[in-house]
Structure 1
Amino acid sequence: MAGIAAWGAYAPRLRLSRKAVTEANAWVAPNLKAKGKGERSMANWDEDALTMAVEAARDALGPADDRSHIDALYFASTTAPFADRLNAGIVSAALTLEKSIRASDVTGSQRCGLTALGQALVSGGTALVAVGEHRKARAASAQELDFGDGAAAFVVTEGAGAAELLGRGSVTDDFVDHFRGDDGGFDHYWEERWIRDEGIVKLVPPAIQRALEVAGLSPSDIDHFCFPSTFAGMAASLAKTIGIRPEAVRDNLAAVMGEAGCAHGPIMLAHALEEAKVGETILVAQFGQGAEALVFRATGQGQRPARGVTGALADRQEETNYLKFLTFNGLIEWDKGMRAEKDNKTALTTLYRNEDMILGLVGGRCRETGVVQFPRTRISVAPNNPAVDTQEPYRFAERKASVLSYSADYLTFSMNPPNHYGMIVFEGGGRIMMDITDVAPGDVETGLPVRMVFRIKDVDEKRGFVRYFWKAAPDRAAIAAQTAQAAE
């Protein structure tokens, strides 16, 4: 028996208005006006598939410091930042997992997220599966409107957990509906009717039927059917073909999020887990050079996420500036000014020596005095007791914090000016000077509750090396609680 013990999800706060996109491109692509309803999730400039996967994993794992129960880590994405560097290793370091875990990257297909989850479920032990996607699309294309950015994560165990695995089915066939070369930034697609009729309709049902056979269920037994597709009505059509009840077909979140590639099946599964009643069955399937299908039964147990899909979608800010979207995704050349003209080569030796500090946001706490500091040093900063070699690792990432002082700087280079940064103080001690993200001018003030988020610090564009660190972002749940308390 194996199952999902906990799950989490993440969607960027920004939501790009499709109407803004279609209006900006009406002169060249008036046919896109029909797609101008709703919004799609839009990653900030300092977010990518990996950072979003880390945030989803944090949602699944919860705030506890002890994560030694995780034996394996699977990171799945078709848009991972590195082709020859273990992306899962970066995720592991950010989450401060044990060095002894097994870690692997799963990629190469839009179904790789479900493939990673299925593999973790049958491999035994306790594993973390983190799936993130951040695809780029050409301006004035249908994909620009259909795509969305997001992530999901699952903790799987040998017990039933919150959802027990009942069956799994797979089909592998080199059906090329689209592809992206190793030196290409965009997907290349074939004709939609061929993809639908020769690909999805013929390859997905056998995978689903196999999963149902293993589970010992009939199609009519399914209570929640999750199938992501940019083709309108595709999930309902499949359900009718297979014999799944129409009311079991779940909303694919296209109107509020878009389609998040290999992460979208897992996101829909996470959403179903949030709403499924005890004993209900969930079937999730995804297409991509074949198909992957998994069947679960909800148990009502396990750990529910603090935010989940519902919370992630509720935390939103509409973005109508189409030019900002193009800039954040590197789709236009713009004058960054002289202050951006610097060599961002990373000292890999320094990165490795300070890995837990940079990627894990780990500082130190003096064993003798309990004084907390960042960074960790041999000599404690405790007043009147500069003890030597008394520091033990202390994780800051899950600690509550607030802004002590700040600046909104238009002189330093920023992808989203002004550059907000300030002194952040933590409950329990410690303070760090750090960047503040996901804010607009006027949002930051002294005392603002913030939480730590794993983000891109900067990019060495000459060598293609992405540097990561932690930033402060408004803790909107804490802000809402403060506002409600003040109103009483």
Structure 2
Amino acid sequence: MVGIAAWGAYAPRLRLSRKAAATANAWVAPNLMGKAKGERSMANWDEDALTMAVEAGRDALGPGDDRSAIDSLYFASTTAPFADRLNAGVVAAALTLEKQLSATDVTGSQRCGLTALAQAWIAVAGGGAAQSLVIAADHRRARAASAQELDFGDGAAAFLITPDGGAAEVLGYGVVTDDFVDHFRSADQEFDYSWEERWIRDEGIAKLVPPVIAKALATAKVEASAVTHFCFPSTFAGMAATLAKGAGIPAEAVRDNLASTLGETGCAHALVMLAHTLEQAKPGDLILVAQFGQGAEAMLLKVGEGVAAARPARGVTGSLADRKEETNYLKFLFFNGLVEWEKGMRAEKDNKTALTTLYRNSDQILGLVGGRCRETGVVQYPRTRISVAPNNPAVDTQDPYKFADRTATILTWSADFLTYSMSPPNHYGTVVFEGGGRIFMDITDVEQGDVETGMAVRMAFRLKEVDEKRGFRRYFWKAVPDRTANAQALAAE
């Protein structure tokens, strides 16, 4: 019964209008107007593969404080920000997982999302792990006026694998590794170089994917005609339907690849499609998910009785609903570092990070863990040796207290056009938490006029600053409007 016990997903709120992007580039690439339909997810300037991974992981794990049962983490990405720093370690710290866990970065191929899921399943099935958390996230950059710019999307998905996963049980698995180079990106390059579409489609996908589908079905002793849902990410129109027809999978089983609403989220997309399927599937359904990249992998799962209870608070469905159309193509270019722009003198400062301070205060900075006084119950951030409790400044009486999933509201705020910001005005203010505690912090995913005193907010793990001189990224938590809670409050008035 080893399988999925819980899952989650995340996509940025911004959605770049493909029509706006194609129109802006029509003078140089009129062929792109053929792709000017729908929208793609667009990361904010302070989002990357790590921040999206953390948000997907939070969605999968829920708000509970106890995460001690998770003893392994697999983070899959082809766009992780650090080449020689354990990216999975940053994710683990932000999710406040135990330090005694095994954390692994999985990368190097567009199928590494499904690879990570398979490795976690094998580890739990073999007794090498009690519970494994798998997260895949990608934030791919593409050249301006390219087809990839419109095809790509940003997003993440997460799955918790346990010995008795009640949401979906893994029945079969197939894999093949073959150095078929459909595209590549060298270590010193920023963008992918892709080969000719017909070659990739006919010689690559059409020949490498069917055998792994057959293998997954054969090991599970399941006929292709019994498959209820078939997930295969591809930017080639009709590719999944062609594979399904060749394998004997019913045409109605082919899942929407979310191309028109989300775009292709890289190595995470097979898992994003799987997450979306689980949100709509019924117990007993059979889900076949496959992914291509220097070979191929396929996994067959049977939906369990616990699937309804395991559905996440946000998931893919919630991410698709929480959207804001962005028609400013120039903003997309700025946020992705595709243009050189004048930032002004206020941006001219040294952003060197004190690594000693980061290490000593890792749980407070990356995990947003404060303190709660055992004697008075007073909650505070940051955690200090001396309690801030009135009339009782006790020493060394504080236990760790997690703020990241606490309900909060805006007490004071400012929209500042004078300070440097990637998305002016720069919003910041004092956030008050239910149960005690307040933090002065940035407010993100807002525009001028969006913020009000008393507005409900939630915490989001985001990029704080980039040290461009040394190539280091500093992360912290920011306040994001809780639009569902604010809408409910408005309706109740």
TM-score scaled by length of structure 2: 0.98
Which of 269, 278, 289 is 2:283 aligned to? 278
SS at match of 1:264: helix
The reply to whether residue 197 of structure 1 matches residue 208 of structure 2 is no
Name the residue aligned to 1:146. 151
Which AA in structure 2 matches 1:218?
Answer: E
Name the residue aligned to 2:61. 61
SS at match of 2:279: helix
Name the residue aligned to 2:490. 483
Q: Quote the offset at 1:69 in angstroms.
A: 1.0
Matched-pair contact (CA < 8 Å) for 1:73–1:128: yes
Cα distance in 2 between the residues matched to 1:458 and 1:201: 44
| Aligned ranges 1:228-267 → 2 under 5 Å | 228-267=233-272
Which of 165, 168, 175 is 2:170 aligned to? 165
The reply to whether residue 387 of structure 1 matches residue 394 of structure 2 is yes
Matched-pair contact (CA < 8 Å) for 1:2–1:122: no
Which AA in structure 2 matches 1:285?
Answer: A
The reply to whether residue 451 of structure 1 matches residue 458 of structure 2 is yes
The reply to whether residue 417 of structure 1 matches residue 424 of structure 2 is yes
Which of 373, 383, 401 is 1:376 aligned to? 383
Deviations 1:64-108 (A, max 9, x none): 011111110000000001000000000000000001011000000
The reply to whether residue 180 of structure 1 matches residue 185 of structure 2 is yes
The reply to whether residue 316 of structure 1 matches residue 323 of structure 2 is yes
| Aligned ranges 1:271-310 → 2 under 5 Å | 271-301=276-306, 303-310=310-317
Cα distance in 2 between the residues matched to 1:401 and 1:381: 20
Cα distance in 2 between the residues matched to 1:391 and 1:469: 22
Cα distance in 2 between the residues matched to 1:277 and 1:476: 29
Which AA in structure 2 matches 1:10?
Answer: Y
Q: Quote the offset at 1:122 in angstroms.
A: 1.1
Q: Quote the offset at 1:24 in angstroms.
A: 0.2
Name the residue aligned to 1:83. 83
Which of 399, 409, 412 is 1:405 aligned to? 412
Which AA in structure 2 matches 1:78?
Answer: T
The reply to whether residue 344 of structure 1 matches residue 351 of structure 2 is yes
Cα distance in 1 between the residues matched to 2:301 and 2:492: 40
Cα distance in 2 between the residues matched to 1:12 and 1:171: 33
Deviations 1:201-249 (A, max 9, x none): 0000011110011111111010000000000000001101111000000
Which of 460, 474, 491 is 1:467 aligned to? 474
Name the residue aligned to 2:365. 358
Matched-pair contact (CA < 8 Å) for 1:77–1:132: yes
Which AA in structure 1 matches 2:12?
Answer: P
Name the residue aligned to 1:114. 114
Q: Quote the offset at 1:483 in angstroms.
A: 2.1
Structure 1 gap ranges (5+): none
Cα distance in 1 between the residues matched to 2:427 and 2:402: 24
SS at match of 1:346: coil
Cα distance in 2 between the residues matched to 1:404 and 1:30: 49
SS at match of 2:400: strand
Name the residue aligned to 1:27. 27
Name the residue aligned to 1:329. 336
TM-score scaled by length of structure 1: 0.99
Q: Quote the offset at 1:424 in angstroms.
A: 0.3
Name the residue aligned to 2:127. none
Which AA in structure 1 matches 2:54?
Answer: V
The reply to whether residue 18 of structure 1 matches residue 9 of structure 2 is no
Cα distance in 1 between the residues matched to 2:213 and 2:467: 44
Q: Quote the offset at 1:286 in angstroms.
A: 0.5
Which AA in structure 1 matches 2:88?
Answer: A
Matched-pair contact (CA < 8 Å) for 1:171–1:207: yes
Cα distance in 1 between the residues matched to 2:230 and 2:195: 27
Which AA in structure 1 matches 2:412?
Answer: S
Cα distance in 2 between the residues matched to 1:178 and 1:404: 50
Q: Quote the offset at 1:251 in angstroms.
A: 0.3
Matched-pair contact (CA < 8 Å) for 1:17–1:40: yes
Q: Quote the offset at 1:477 in angstroms.
A: 1.5
Cα distance in 2 between the residues matched to 1:8 and 1:397: 17
Across the aligned residues of Structure 1 and Structure 2, the Cα RMSD in angstroms comes to 0.6
SS at match of 1:275: coil
Q: Quote the offset at 1:264 in angstroms.
A: 0.4
Which AA in structure 1 matches 2:180?
Answer: F
Deviations 1:282-335 (A, max 9, x none): 000010000011110001305220011100100000000000000000000000
Structure 2 gap ranges (5+): 125-129
Name the residue aligned to 1:126. 131
Matched-pair contact (CA < 8 Å) for 1:133–1:149: yes
Matched-pair contact (CA < 8 Å) for 1:225–1:284: yes
Q: Quote the offset at 1:443 in angstroms.
A: 0.3
Cα distance in 1 between the residues matched to 2:459 and 2:305: 30
Cα distance in 1 between the residues matched to 2:289 and 2:281: 13
Cα distance in 1 between the residues matched to 2:466 and 2:159: 29
Which AA in structure 1 matches 2:147?
Answer: A
Cα distance in 2 between the residues matched to 1:276 and 1:111: 23
Cα distance in 2 between the residues matched to 1:50 and 1:338: 29
Q: Quote the offset at 1:484 in angstroms.
A: 2.5
Deviations 1:128-178 (A, max 9, x none): 001110000000000000000000000000113200000110010000000
Matched-pair contact (CA < 8 Å) for 1:265–1:285: yes
Task: Kindly tell me the number of residue pairs found equivalent between the two proteins.
Answer: 486
Deviations 1:432-475 (A, max 9, x none): 00000000100000000000000000101111111000000001
Name the residue aligned to 1:96. 96
